Amino acid sequence: MGKRYHCDYCDKTMVAAPSIVKIHIKGLVHQKLVQEHYQQFKDPETILKEEAIKKPCLRFASGQCQFGAICRFSHYTREQLIELRQYVTSKGKAEFDNRTLSFQDLYQKLQNDKCKLQDNADDKNSTTLYDSNGVTHVLPWTYNATLESYDENLPPSIKKMKLEDFKDAEIVEWG
């Protein structure tokens, strides 16, 4: 039996001859199914932009339109287009409000978030350290609390580090 071509959109299998595949891809059913597949991934702004310029489909209103997603007329009612326009404008306003924050507002928001993190980081298992300058240090590991029972008997590589350990450290160049 020769090679076979399977169309995922139509869920059909056919002989993989270029002429047959080309005819299938140009077919109305295939184009309709491809368009319906990609329609679900479009954002509301794109849908509104495309549908606003189309005239209403009279056959769709009576339930007789066979073209579906590839119809050159709009299948949205006037009320649906108004709702979609309101949604897009409200979404646009929310994004615009987030962009118009001043530097002071953003800085204050960051400081408030940092204070919340500091309040939550008071526990022993926290991997976030705050130094006296307000700089945040996030450690890429968690410390096992059972190791604290060994106190000074632990080697330096396993001891829990504190910021005070680094204050008087001498930095030596290696290599």
12-52 per-position pLDDT tens digit: 999 999 999 999 999 988 998 998 898 888 888 888 888 88
Residues in a beta bridge with 128? 138
The answer to whether the beta carbons of residues 7 and 20 sit under 8 Å apart is no
Q: Which domains does the chain have, with CATH numbers?
A: 1-41 (3.30.160.60), 44-100 (no CATH), 103-167 (no CATH)
- The tens-digit pLDDT sequence of the chain (175 residues) is 679 999 999 999 999 999 999 999 999 889 989 988 988 888 888 888 888 888 999 998 888 888 887 888 998 888 988 998 888 888 877 666 566 667 777 777 777 776 665 555 455 555 666 666 666 666 666 667 777 777 777 887 777 777 777 777 777 777 6
pLDDT of residue 17: 92
- Two structure tokens written together for 110: 């960051």
Residue 23: what pLDDT?
95
Compute the radius of gyration of the chain from its Cα atoms.
Answer: 31
Q: Pick left, alpha or beta for residue 68 (phi over 0 → left; psi -120 to 50 → alpha; otherwise beta).
A: left
